[in-house]
Chains A and B, each alone.
Chain A
Amino acid sequence: MRSVWLVARREYLEQVRGKAFKVTTILIPVVFIGIMAAMILPSRYWGTSKHLVIAAQNPAFAARLRNELVADKDAKMTVDILAPAAPGDRATLHSELDAKQIDGFVWIEAPADGKELVTYVSRSAGDFTTEDRLNTAVNRALVEQRVVNHGIAASDIPALTANVDIKTMLYREGVEKPSSALITLFFGYGMAFLLTFTVVMYGMNVGRSVIQEKTSRIFEVMLSTVKASDMLAGKLIGIGAVGLTQIAIWIALGAVLLTTALAENWMTGTAKPQVSIVEVVLLCVYFVLGYALYSTFFAGLAATCDTEQELQQYAPLAAVPVWLSFGMITFIMSNPNSIWSILISMFPPCSPITMAFRFTAQFPPAWQIALSLALMVISIYIVLWLSSRIYRVGILMYGKRATLPEMVRWLRYN
């Protein structure tokens, strides 16, 4: 036990004193905030400042639609009216599109059967924000138009068509609290992002550390006093402690930020993400288990490699579960109890990340948490068994990267 502790302490001190630790402690939250900003800010400016032309046979309807479009202040649209429009005007509009004088035009036909036909022609495909705005505006304008046609006074229209915003509340532990789907999404995303970064980063870190000891030929010196299994255990504990230290720093910083008056100012009136102590503890447990799974896996792999470059070739093995989990993020957020959400959060390599999403969306039933933790512990045990056997032999093998049949043979050595 003494040597496990000594190896762990050495590993911990070397990493915590190192430059990489300081850089990542600052850089990861900065990068994270940057990504968040990059996601939120442009969405406000998506589809803005468009120059559109409304071409309709009915000037009154065109004017209504124009009012609706201009009413959306965020969009900053410039809308011209061409009414009444004749079929021949379409060619003129095309030439204006070619000359880039306008971004698009809305062509409205009102056939005899009374069902309007609306077409949006633009130079850019996939501008779903503008399409979305048009959709809402056209339909509102149509409703207003039909209501007027039914003989209701134009002055009554605003009252009749007034919108209501839905207020969302989160019911938890017998209390309703204001919440917002967007903030929940970003918060879940944030938790998963930090968890992923730390789990995978420190998992790879163990692999790199094994390679470094192998290339610097320190292993044989160490093995004359320390058992291979003690070295592996010390390394896992030491580097895991570095990860926990980093998370503790972030939590402390986050807590300080959130309790400052500044944060109070930002947050008033908006919904705050809801986190309980239980969730924080569970997130730490998922970090520890996730880290244990990835790091034992990479320790075993690293022992079969000779250089860091060779180890890098195995990195996609860690990236696949991460992609899978992040690809599922919006699905899990809106369907936290779907069978797919449950299944992916039971799959050990994805558990830590997807469970972080699920905590913020809707707290999963206790049995699901227990089952996912149990599955993780079992898979860690299996991976540890395999890795420690490969590690024991691999660290003394120099030269080339081991092939799969060689690794299988190593498993049988005593």
Chain B
Amino acid sequence: MPPVVALDRISKAYENKIAVQDLSLQIDAGTMFGLVGPNGSGKTSSIRMMIGITMPDSGSVSMFGKPYARESLRRVGYLPEERGLYKKMKVMEQLVFMGELHGLNPAVAARRAHEWCERLQILEVAQKKTEELSKGMQQKIQFIATLLHDPELVVMDEPFSGLDPVNAALLQDTLIDLKKAGKAILFSTHRMDQVEKLCDAICLIHHGYAVLSGGLREVKSRYERDRVVINFEGDAAFLGHPAIESFKNYSGQAEIQLKPHADAQDLLRAAMERASIYRFELMEPSLEEIFIRTVGEKIDA
């Protein structure tokens, strides 16, 4: 099966700034893809090119196994970072209008809008004007408008920004349900923890370049598990073990940085000889650490 969407070495430059340079990525059905990077790194520019709001200067976009065409957008749901609603319209009218723009007939759009409002617990405001609603409610409506036409590819630019934790969790659960239903989902964020929790595959971008990409597990496996946390009681002399690069000992909890390619199992054996061990955890680096390391290397190079 071809990927739902694939970018092949796309680039875009504005005036005197390179927004995106040679970015390639692909998203398969039933996966959650995270586009991660700091503000201004080129996430929104990449997304705009993916769905044809702007055209890449070079490179190509293919969607549903075919070169990009506007008709494909009927099967895409896009929630931009700068998003809004028609303030004077009633919620239900607005949702039906957005559904019709995506090719639904009004009756189907109205039925689905009703179902979604029920699911996201905003049915009671369906006949109110949008301007009367709270910001969180408006975000839910935007979210519904994006999904009303049952898109196969869902693209969300910073979907969780500005949401309270309860609604953010509701939205996350909905995205996970969509993924299970076989949709391809791309979301961009500058929050690494969200990506780590939700995504199957990622692309880390920095200054318009993709610095890391691939499956989340695969990316992480490229980095050694070289941090150890030990909770112990007894003699702390094992902290002088040759595998240890540096350590901090907080009376019974030691946080250890291993030397490259050091044998953590050997350290565990040495520790067990002298002290009783309650916890020994060989930690993988967080995405944030990976990003800092990767970008740090790039900057130093």
Contact = CB atoms under 8 A, between A and B. Distances in A.
A396 B100 CA distance: 23
A174 B102 CA distance: 59
B51 interface: yes
Given A14-B88, A216-B87, A398-B82, A221 B102 contact: no
A218 B79 CA distance: 11
B86 A224 contact: no
Contacts of B98: 221
A224 B84 contact: no
B82 A217 contact: yes
A226 interface: yes
B101 A6 contact: yes
Interface residues of B, number: 25
Interface in A218-242: 218-227
Contacts of A217: 80, 82-84
A398 B83 CA distance: 13
A50 interface: no
A10 interface: yes
A221 B78 contact: yes
Contacts of B82: 217, 220, 398
Interface string A1-29: 00100100010001000100000000000
Interface string B55-66: 100000000000
A6 B100 contact: yes
Contacts of B51: 224
Given A14-B89, A225-B101, A396-B53, A220 B83 contact: yes
Nearest to B88: A14
A221 B83 CA distance: 6
B80 A224 contact: yes
Given A221-B145, A224-B51, A6 B97 contact: yes
B86 A218 contact: yes
B85 interface: yes
Most buried by A among B89, B101, B142: B101
A275 to B, nearest CB: 37
A414 interface: yes
A239 to B, nearest CB: 14
A414 B142 CA distance: 30
B86 A14 contact: yes
Nearest to A217: B84
A3 B97 CA distance: 10
Nearest to B53: A223
Contacts of B55: 414
Given A3-B101, A6-B101, A217-B83, A224 B88 contact: no
Contact of A225 (B73, B83, B84, B85): B73
Contact of B70 (A10, A222, A227): A227
Given A396-B53, A414-B55, A226 B101 contact: yes
Listed residue (B70, B76, B82, B145) with the most chain A CB atoms within 10 angstroms of its CB:
B82
A224 B53 contact: yes
Contacts of A14: 86, 88-89
Contacts of B70: 227
Interface string B36-58: 00000000000000010101000
Contacts of A223: 53
A224 B76 contact: yes
Interface string B91-106: 0000001101110000
A77 B142 CA distance: 74
Given A6-B97, A10-B97, A224 B85 contact: no
Interface in A190-215: 212-213
B87 A222 contact: no
Interface in B88-144: 88-89, 97-98, 100-102, 142
Given A216-B85, A216-B87, A217-B83, A224 B78 contact: yes
A218 B85 contact: yes
A92 B55 CA distance: 90
Given A14-B89, A18-B88, A220 B101 contact: no
A221 B76 CA distance: 12
Nearest to A223: B53
Residue among B51, B70, B86, B89 with the highest chain A CB neighbour number at 10 A: B86
Nearest to A409: B15
A213 B145 CA distance: 16
Contacts of A227: 70
Contacts of A10: 86, 89, 97
B100 to A, nearest CB: 6
A220 B53 contact: yes
B149 to A, nearest CB: 9
A91 to B, nearest CB: 73
A221 B142 CA distance: 9
Contacts of A212: 87
A233 to B, nearest CB: 14
A178 to B, nearest CB: 50
Contacts of B97: 6, 10
B107 to A, nearest CB: 15
A226 B53 CA distance: 10
A216 B101 contact: no
B61 to A, nearest CB: 14
Contacts of B80: 217, 220-221, 224
Contacts of A3: 101
Contacts of B87: 212, 216
- 4 smallest CB-CB distances across A and B, nearest first, come from A217-B84, A220-B80, A216-B84, A224-B78
24 contacts: A3-B101, A14-B86, A213-B86, A216-B85, A216-B86, A216-B87, A217-B80, A217-B82, A218-B83, A218-B84, A220-B80, A220-B82, A220-B83, A221-B78, A221-B85, A221-B142, A221-B145, A224-B51, A224-B53, A224-B76, A225-B74, A225-B102, A226-B101, A396-B53
